[in-house]
Structures are given as C-alpha cells and as structure tokens.
Structure 1
Amino acid sequence: MHVTAAHLRAIANGPAPLAGKLVGPINRYAAEHDITTRRRVGHWLSHMSVETGGFTRLEENLNYKTAARIRAVWPSRFKTDAAAQPFVRNPVALAEKVYGNRRDLGNMQPGDGWKYRGLGPMQTTGRSNFQMVKNATGLDVIAEPDLLLDPDRGTEASALYFAKRVAKHADADAPIASRKAVNGGTHGLAEFKAALARAYKALPQDAPQRASLISPAVEEEPEAAPPAPAVDGLVAKSVKEKLSEVGYTEVGYVDDDWGGKSVAAMSAFENDNGLPITGFPNAENIALLDAAEPGSRPIAKARQNVTAKDIKENSPIVQTTQKSKFEIWIGAAGAALTTVYSAVVDFFGDAWDYLAPVREIATDIPLWAYGAAALLLCFILRNRFERIETARLEAEKTGAITTTPGQDGA
C-alpha cells in the first residue's frame, strides 16, 4: 500500500504541514516492518496523527497553559488544581513528574523524564524504548534523544515500536488495546477513533492475496527466531530486586544483567498471574509486579507438602545430606561404644594397664573423653546436615528452587 501526503491530510482532517517530510519515510519503513495492510497502516498513521497534533510537530507538547488541562491529561497524578499549578508552563518539571522514576519506561535516573519525553512521529517515550531503537538501528538515541526529531529517524523508530507492540492489536482492529499499547491508557482514544475512521475512508482496500507460487513439495526456510529484547541495566536490576522480594528467588543475583535466570523468573511470574509469557520486562508485567506484596508468590499445595523423600531422586544435596547423616550415625555409634568401653575399663582398674601405650600418648586425657568428643562432633555435624536438608526442602516448598533431574536450582 502506497501512502501519499493527501492520505495524511485526510487522516489529520487538516493541512498536516509535516506530511511532505514524513510520507517518504512512512512508505520506506512500512515496507521494512510489514506495516502493509489497511488495518496496520490505518492504526499506525492514526496514532501518528493524534501524537503529532495532526502532523504538525515531532515533539510532545508539555507546555500546558492551565492546571485544568494538566489534570485532564493526567487525572491520576493530579487530584486538584493546586497540585497541578506548579507545572503550568513548566514542561521540564512536568516531564519529570509524569515520566520520571518510571520503572515501566526505564526512567530510573534523574533527568530521564525530560530527556526521554515523547519525540518523533509516534512520540517515542522512555529510556527503555529509546534503548530498543538504539539496539535495532545503531542510532545512539540514548546519548542524543533529539535524533528522533529528524523525520526519517523518528519514523523508523515509530515503525519499530508499532511492529513490536501495536501491530497485533491493529490486526484485530481493537482500537482500545491499540491505544493502550501506544499511550499506556485511553488518553486520546476519541481522537484516535475519529482519525482511524478517516483513515479507513481514505486508504484503499487491501489487494487480493496472490496464489502461492511455491510448490507444496518445497518447504520454505524457517524464519530465524527474533532477537531477545534488550533490557536496560537499571530496569533489569530494579525488576530483579522486586521479583526476588515477591518470592521469585530463582532470578538469582540482583545485578543489571537480564540472563537466563531472569527470563525464567519473569516467565514464572507471568504464568502465575495469567499474563502472556515473554520472560522480559514490559509495561504490563511491571505494573502488576509493582503492585505485588512481598512474599506473595502463589505456591501450589502439592509443593507446600513436599518431603525430602519426594525430591531425593533428583536432588544431589538431599542425597548427600542423607548419606552423610547415615555415616555420622555409624560414627556416633562407634564413639558411643568407645566411650562405654573406656568407662567400663576405667571402672575395672585391673584392665587399665592394657591401655598403657595410649596413656603414654595422652596421659592427661582419659580415653572416654576422646569418645565423648567424637560423639559430640557427630551430633554437631548431623545437626549441620539436617539444617542444610531443611533449608533445601524449604526452598523447594516456596518455589525458590525447582528440582530438575541431576541438579539443584538453575
């Protein structure tokens, strides 16, 4: 589908002064990112129209003139006019207020709210989304966010985001879900629906699908798996800390690397909460994670009642501790016999002479004391192994470790 400046003006229902600069990049990046159906193009361009004020600007306008307007845009953050008043005609402070310290956006450092405010035709917002653009294009928009003010680069960023986060909702023609994927809520939904209606009226119908030219006997090459999404280090550390706090301790060491254990922990959290399994932080799972209480991970009843016997087969730790406890009992029995024997011999003084060689080595320590010490050591070691086994069993019950054949944890 080929988009023209006339299409953009029709969707904007106005002059769309940026149409001439955007139409070339729109056609180029639409083809590159499979935004080619009427629904996908319609949703993409309609979002652009809403975010750019009818294709008039490439930067989010945060210079609001009244407290009432600020409250209308962010009702959950500003409950009264008095709360919003300090941010009237104060775009930097407003950006920090509404976008700063937002784990879901990756804005974890001072100044991130303003630095990574909405830029480009679809108002790319948040450090994590700028990082996604950098990883995909090589453009260092983390260091230079204003690169997205260029129509070409900004359109590429918007196509990347749309293809990754919004296209599936466009395919279903679900305007509410589509808007939430772009805006995080339903702000601008009415404007989006109106623009979408104009887009469907202006854009041509999809061309009929051509019959496949590939012989049924010839198999197509399988598509390569998409690369794993990049996770900003600050976001990774923050999310891993929260996962561990909630009870997903399989996340491992809390650092800024999002590796296999992190993917497993997030996947478990998503599964427990009925979310699509992605294994990576996103706005939906982070919002739910932030709302979770510490230690609130749901544990299956069968796991809560597990015993050491249940996990022994696949747990080297339990196997070793139980074997060691058995060996300690043998040692304890030997030490006990030695102690009893020594006491009996000591009682019958005549037999004590037979132990003269031992007495020469340790004349001041009776033999029964050695036996008693050995017995005490056996009990101490057994207690240590008992505690190790108990801790391992508790980890299994709480889900901190899930036993797999031949290993403990992973």
Structure 2
Amino acid sequence: MNPQKHALGIKPNLYQFLWLVFMTILVGMTVGLERTVVPLLGKNVYHITSITIIFAFVIAFGITKAVLNLVAGHLSDKLGRRPILIVGWLLGIPMILLLLFVHSWTAVIVANVFLGANQAFAWTMTVTQQLDLAGPKQRGLAMGINEATGYIGVAISTTLTGIIATHYGLLQAPFVYGALVLFFGLGTSLLIIRETRGHVIKEANVSSLKSMEVKTEKPAKVGVGRILWTTTIANPTLSACSQAGLVNKLADTLVWAMLPLFLAGLHVSIVNIGLIGGTYTVVWGFAQFGTGILSDIIGRKPPIVTGMALLGLGILAFGLVHSLMGWIITAAVMGLGMALLYPNLNSAVADVAPPEMRGGVLGVYRLWRDGGYAIGGLLLAFTIHLMGMLHSLYLIGVIVLVSMLIVLLRMKETHSRRSLNV
C-alpha cells in the first residue's frame, strides 16, 4: 500500500478537502432556503395564527436531525462516511417535492422531517470527513472551514430567498432554487466525494504508537449507550460542550423561527428581514475562517466562552434597538459570537474523542446540540404565549449567559501543546 495514500493533513488531501468545502456550502444552502421564507409562509400564505403550530416545522426539523445525528455518526464508523453522505442527499428529494407541489402547512412540517434527515446525514458527514482528512494538527482549521463555508451557504440562501420571494412570491419560487441546490449536492456526492475511513485508521495507528498501545481496535467496541452516557454526563468537558451546543441552537431557533415574525410584526419588509438574518449568518460564516485557526493557537475554551458572552449580549441588545441599522449591528454581534463558539465546540469534542470513535461521539454531541431546535421551538412557543416575543428574546439571552458560566466552570481545555505535536 502506498504510505502517502492516507496521509493526514489538509495539503496532501487538498483536492478532496476542497470538494468537501463545496459540498458543505450546498448543505448550508439547502437549510438556508427556509430561514426567511417558511415562518412567513405559515403566517402570510397559510394564515396560521397559533405560534406553536408555526413553530412545529422547526420542532420537527430539530427532533429528526438530533436523533439521526446519533444514527449517522454510529453508522459512519461501521459502514463508512460516503454512503451516509449519499443517503443524506437522497433524503432531501422528498423535502423539495413536498415544498414544490403539496401546498399545505402539514406538507411543510413533513418536509422539515426530511430536511432534518438530510442535514443530519449530509452535514455530519462533511464535518466528519474533513476532520478525518485534516488530522489532529489542523483540526481547528478544518472545523472552522467547514462551519464557515456551511453558514456562508446558509447566508446565501437566507438573503437570496428573501429577494426571490419579494419578486415571485413565497409559495413556490424559492423552492425551485432549492431543487437546483439539491441536484448539485447529490451529483457531487455520487461522482466526486471519496471515502475517508482509511485516514481514520491511519490516525488511530499513529495515536496508538504515540501512547504505546497495541490494541487499537478495543475502543471501537464501546457501545452506543456507553458513548451516550460519557458524552452527556460522565465526562465534564463533553457534558459542558453538549449543553452549550444545545443552548446555542436555542439561540439559532430564535433567529430562524421567531425573529422573522417579530420583525414582520414591526412592519419590516421581507427584503430587510432577509438582510438582517443574512448579516447574522454571513458574519457567523466568514468569521469562522479565523476562529478555527485561533483555537489551534490559543485553545478551544477562550473562544467558546467569549463567543457565548457575545451571543447572549447580542440577543439582549437586539430587543433594545429599534432601527434597521441597530438590528443589523446586533445581528452581526450574535453572528460573531456564534463564529467563536460553534466550530470550537465541535473541535473540543473531536479532541476528546478517540479517532476510531469520533463519528459516534460527535453524533451524540450533535444529538444534544440539534435537539436545541426542538427544545427551542417548544420553549419559544410556550414563552411567547405566556409573555410575548420580546420577553422570550430576553429569556433566551439570559439562558445563553448562564450556559457560558457552566462552560467556564466545567470544561477543561482540550487542545494542549502535546496534542499539537501528535
């Protein structure tokens, strides 16, 4: 076997790494096509008056994505990354067909089940494959690039669908664009993307030699239940990261599901709602090119804590301002907070996870993280009914700051000088 075939690092794997970057942009564009359109579709086209029913689409998405993250991670460790990626894009086909041709709110909710499955399988695999290729020395950089390009894709769709909906309506035109994105994603995964489990075996062997362990297969026998327990409760760092991941998705649910309705209630135009949401995701996306590298230099914990502080304060400030420029600035602060914390939570989890169990551990982390969409949708539906949108916004801001304190107290730094030399 050619010893360079599974060399670790971005440079020796640049061709595949760049195609995975393109793939991640497409995955982000797929979920981003709903961020401006769907809440307004429920309110303005289907005339849904119940906040709980409107938020049902994000709850359905969150539950599906959370559970299937766990399945995707476990299966990818057994069957390989590429088959799971392809299945993810295939699961996007019913989503687009429902949104294009079945015009009811029930169809939107069912479509979001398939969207959750698409994202769980496809985005989880782009993350995992890029981490496989990069190896431990460039894990923060790889994670930053993945999340940056994914949320650039989200930003593109968030802004573009607002423009499309303004000119051609909310009902169908934005989803024609979505069908084109899906076509390119499936085609690329079938024709170009290659399997990366050989790189995992290489990294596991290197790690084994460094730690003087002989039986590298033993950790792979750990069951899903044990991985779930360790990631959720037993390991303080993984536990802190998991709750922080869940809470940051509470915040993202706020931006995705509630803020378009909040701003529409203040008579903000669809284009400007898309601009505000796009600012949040553009800053989140582009800043991650730097925040991933930053964590490879200063460690994971400082940017995570700083990011949660900026996110929480940005949410609180969003409710205090009353102008387009004020909302854009506070959205940018929230996006910068997300850029600091989001990729580095993933990197911290990957630092702690043994290479041959990485898919499973990341799957559990993403189970809790994306479960935040479902919990966030339910929590916001309840609190909006109880105390209105503005106070619900303030509540989420406070929850983010409390979560920051938990990370500060429980999480240990995961990226030591020794791990840089692996």
Higher relative contact order (CA 8 A, sep 6+): 2
Q: TM-score, normalised by structure 1?
A: 0.21
Compute the TM-score of the two structures, normalised by the length of structure 2: 0.21
Q: Which has more helix, going by share of residues?
A: 2
Larger radius of gyration: 1
